[in-house]
Structures are given as C-alpha cells and as structure tokens.
A and B are shown apart, each in its own frame.
Chain A
C-alpha cells in the first residue's frame, strides 16, 4: 500500500489541500492542514512564470521567490514534513523548468529522498513524458496526471498511460482560483474518467467553499482546494496557521460527510 492508496481507501472522499512552499510559515501551515483533517497535501514549487495559475497563486509564487525560496529549501520542507507526518501523502506540484533543470533523474532522486509520494507537473503533458516520467517511476514516485474538459475519450488512454497516485481532474478549462464548473459537467466527467481508470479521481480548480467542496465530494474520490488557502495565507502572513487549520476543518468536515448526507 502506498500512502495514496491508504488515503483514498478510507470510506469517505479525501480533501487534497494545496499551498505554495515558502509563502508564509510553510511548516506551521502544513501541520495545520494535517491537524485540520486534510488527507493529501500538495506543496507548490514556486516559479517565476506560473502560466496556469490565477492571480492568487501567482502572487504566492512571487512572495515566496521574493523571500529567496530555493529548490533545496523546498526539499528540506518536504523532508521535515515527512519526519513529522509519516502517513500523510505529499505531492510536489509545479512547472517543468525548476523540476528538470538539473535533470529528471536528479529531481526524482531528491523526491524519493525527501519522502515525496507524487509529482504534478503542469506543463509536461503525456507527449513529453520522457522529460520526467521514466525517472519518477524508476524512483518509485507517482507521476500524477491532469485530465481536463478538453481531454476527449480518444486522448484519455494516452493521459492515463504511466499515470500514478490519483487522477487530477481540472474541472474548468482555465486557470486556478477562478470560476467553478457546473456540477452536472463534473458528474459527467468523473463518471467518464472512473470508467477508464482504477485510479482515484480528485477534482479541482475554482473550489473555494465547503458547500462547493461537499457537492463535488458526492461524486468524486477527492476534492482539491488551493487558492482559498493561499488567500488566508496572503491575509495573515506568518500567523496564518490557526486560520488555515480552522478552514481546513470546515472543508474536511463537509467533504468527509458528503456521501453520508447523499446516502
């Protein structure tokens, strides 16, 4: 059993929580996410040019880089998290250049050493898999792929080939933290994806409130929330942890109980 299979095997949907490394007191915020009930953590690697992100996460990237966050710092944060939280799956999410600049093998090895379970690389689609995929799989780190509203049925097998951990369904064609997709389209998409893969399906992009999260949790294996956490960290800075924990708890409660209410 990997940490992912354990996290998604619970008899309830999972909360997948995203924050940007180096923005605010990251160690304290990570602890707050776990304490509040997050099931999977996505740690964003800041990049100067976050092309898939909306204003909230763009600003988090810039705040982190302005403080001098390096790749070495991010792996140190990850390794320390792993020693404090042996059970919670940890994903690094980011862009191709910082992940590949020293070579895919180097990155995969560092991930394995730091106890990172999976990697999401926004701008390495299945067509460019050789850039990172083989190295990650050899190191035992899951490459988590993204499916989107534009990923049609013909293309889906290529996306799933080599994918691991869980499948991240980007529910809107757009950038992070903006509008939310219609519930009906999410239900249709999740059903289509689950027919094509045994991987758990987590749904994200534009999910900001416990009500939205609960709606999605009725049909998906997990719900990803990012920009809403980033907003809290932007507002409270280094003292954000208690606020992060409180918000995590409301989200986790809504998501974890979603299927009981539905049933």
Chain B
C-alpha cells in the first residue's frame, strides 16, 4: 500500500460536484429547467476537455475582442495619491467596451456546441445585452434581450445599439422594472423555450454551472494580469481591487491569484446613497438567501422578500452577488469594501483628468477604493485595479448627477 498523495490546499478548486462553494451556489431552479442545467453541465465538461473549444475561444478573444488587454501603469494617478504604484487592467479597451464580451464569446460557443438556435439574455444598463447581441450577430443567431422598462427608458443608446445588432429588446414591465425583473422574465421565457434556446447569463450568478463557467471564461483577465505584472515588475502585486455587482469581472481578476497568500484582494460593493440609505451592497447589508437559482448574500427583509437595490451604476444595481464571492467573503480570503455614488462620481472625474481614461461608473467604484487605500501603502507596493469597462455609456448619467444639461 502506498501513501495517498497529499492534495494541495487550493481555494481554486470549487465548486464541488453539486455546484456549491461552501454553503453558497447550488441549483435552485424549477424542475422544468433542471434537466437542461444538467445537460449544460455535461456539455461544459466536454468542452473543457476539448482542445478545439479552447483554441476557438482563444482565437476569438485575440482577433475579435482584441486581447490581451493592456496592463497600464497609471503614473499620474500614482503620483497624485503618493503611495502604492497603481496599474489598471484595461478591460475597457475590449471590443464593446467592457469585460462582458469575454463571457459571451465562451457561452455562444457552448450554445453552438449544444445545437441551440436561439439566444436570450438579461441586461441592466445594457452592456451585457450589447455584448450578447454582438456575439449573436457574429454567429448569425436570433437574439432576444430582456431589459427592465425603467432601464430601457434611461439607457436608450444601448437599446438602439442592440437593435442595430439585430436583437429584439423586450421591455420588462413586472416588479421594479430593472435588472432583477429582467432576469425573472428571461427565466420565464427560457422555461417555455428550453428545447431550442440558450440563456447567456451575464454574471457569475444563476444556477450551477453558470457561476463556474462564467468565472472560467472571465479568468483570462487574471491570467493575463499575472503574466503582465511578472513581466513588468518581476513579481506578483500586493493587492488586487475590482468592482463587484454580480462579480464577474472581479472573480475573473481574482481567481488566478486566490492561492497567492501575499496578494491581498479587495472587492468593491456599491454603497449607493450610503449603507444607511438605498444601496446595492449585498455583503455589507444583506444575508444569505436563495434567488435566481443560487444561494448567496441578498438584500432582503426578515421574511425573505427581496428588496430593491440602488446604485448610480446600473451594472452594480442588483440585490445579490455571485455565490463564490459570498464564500470568499465568509472565509475571509477577499475583503469587500463599500463605495458610495458620490465617491464613484469623484473618481470617475479624477481618472478621466489624470489619465485620459473615462472609466465605467462600475470601474470608478474600484478607482475610489484605490484612492482610499493607495496613500496608506508604501511606494514599493503594487496594486492592480480592474478597469472593467469604459465610461462612454455613463456620460448622460454623470452629466445628470453633476447638474449639466447635454
């Protein structure tokens, strides 16, 4: 008898075979969807083992999305703050302007593999909707995007983009008419069309295997950043910072570093008007519950009724968070900090003026946290901040908040 090899203690091996990260995650869906979810998992396992799948994914990321995205040393921001050296991972330079496209490429390849002929997605601000409509156009598949009627009204440019790309945009009139309701309606449509329809979920939430596969597709962010910082500095960073709504850009950056003990990791939640008022900070202000197919931290009342989230950033305006983040929070591997609308607005303007980079309001939350933390660290320290998207889509919101009439 030989000794069994000791398995390395890794934080990167989740979820378990039932889709759980600790107590979080899982497959809390209606029976109608369950066989489809199991089928998706089988196809994803097969795709992972198929070199041709990875080759096609990598080729599209390189030649269509424009990867790798640069790792930019933000020298003027660094000098201004007078502390740790700040690098920006430039996901804003991707085709369609954010990290969302990485995941959409991966999922549409899965849809093709499964023989599905129709694509649906939910969207809040419209970024995931635009990215989904983009890959649907590229692959010639009909696409329906569910978007809350309130978001349709306040995000007209993205609605028009999706329509130009050939997508049908359904304005969802139920509930509060925002992202959560769009996801409910997408699930309702999916349940009635399971035979031919693939649902491209936009973040690391939903039933297993979505949180895992979205994370895997987004991990290109962290894999690249790791190689890039080693080349630029010859060592790993001291800290990572990324904004967290559902948390796909954040987990994409974090995951390849989870086992590097020397790398401190900070996720930034949207504190909206402040944690005492309306906000979208599920970890700081919520507790574990079940919604949209997974168990995770949710904003809810004592009876488990979901409460409305608020953030100036539509991409963070969701009352839940991906289950792996809930787990990383509970075990203490990642520290989650709140940033308010006002702080994000100030950082939006500061980064634009200092670096000539207009960040998405989501990304501005991470910049604000970096502004808070960098001055407390020595100049020999290195921080990588995920600039998850560009802010062109947000100029109307920002103008409105600043009292400027366009």
A residues lining the B interface (CB < 8 Å):
47-55, 58, 62, 65, 70-71, 95-101, 122-128, 131, 145-152, 155, 159, 170, 172-175, 178
Contacts and interface: CB of A to CB of B under 8 A. Distances in A.
Contacts of B18: 127
Contact of B300 (A54, A97, A148): A97
A122 B291 CA distance: 12
A50 B28 CA distance: 13
A173 B187 contact: no
A197 to B, nearest CB: 15
Task: Name, among A47, A96, A145, A170, the residue most crowded by chain B CB atoms within 10 Å (CB to CB).
Answer: A96
Contacts, number: 114
CB-based closest 8 A-B pairs = A101-B304, A174-B192, A97-B304, A98-B304, A96-B290, A148-B32, A48-B306, A146-B31
Nearest to B187: A51
A47 B304 CA distance: 8
Interface of B: 18, 26-36, 174-175, 180-181, 184, 187-188, 191-195, 289-293, 298, 300, 302-306
A151 B39 CA distance: 12
B188 to A, nearest CB: 5
Contacts of A49: 175, 180-181, 184, 291-292, 306
Contacts of A99: 304
Given A127-B34, A159-B31, A173 B303 contact: no
B32 A170 contact: yes
Given A58-B174, A151-B35, 18 more contacts: A49-B181, A49-B184, A49-B306, A51-B30, A51-B187, A70-B303, A95-B290, A97-B304, A100-B289, A100-B304, A123-B28, A125-B31, A131-B290, A148-B32, A150-B33, A155-B34, A172-B192, A174-B191
A44 to B, nearest CB: 14
Given A97-B300, A150-B36, A123 B29 contact: yes
A16 B188 CA distance: 24
A178 B290 CA distance: 26
B236 to A, nearest CB: 38
A122 to B, nearest CB: 6
B159 to A, nearest CB: 23
B205 to A, nearest CB: 13
Contact of A97 (B31, B35, B191, B290): B290
B403 to A, nearest CB: 34
Contact of A123 (B30, B174, B175, B194): B30
Given A123-B28, A124-B28, A65 B305 contact: yes
Task: Name, among A50, A131, A147, A173, the residue most crowded by chain B CB atoms within 10 Å (CB to CB).
Answer: A173
13 contacts: A55-B174, A97-B300, A98-B303, A100-B290, A100-B304, A123-B30, A125-B30, A148-B32, A150-B33, A155-B34, A173-B191, A173-B193, A174-B192
Given A51-B187, A101-B300, A173-B191, A147 B305 contact: no
Nearest to A175: B188
Contacts of B34: 125-127, 150-151, 155
A123 B306 contact: no
Contact of B289 (A53, A101, A147): A101
Contacts of A148: 30-32
Contacts of A155: 34-35
A95 B31 CA distance: 13
A187 to B, nearest CB: 20
A152 B35 contact: yes
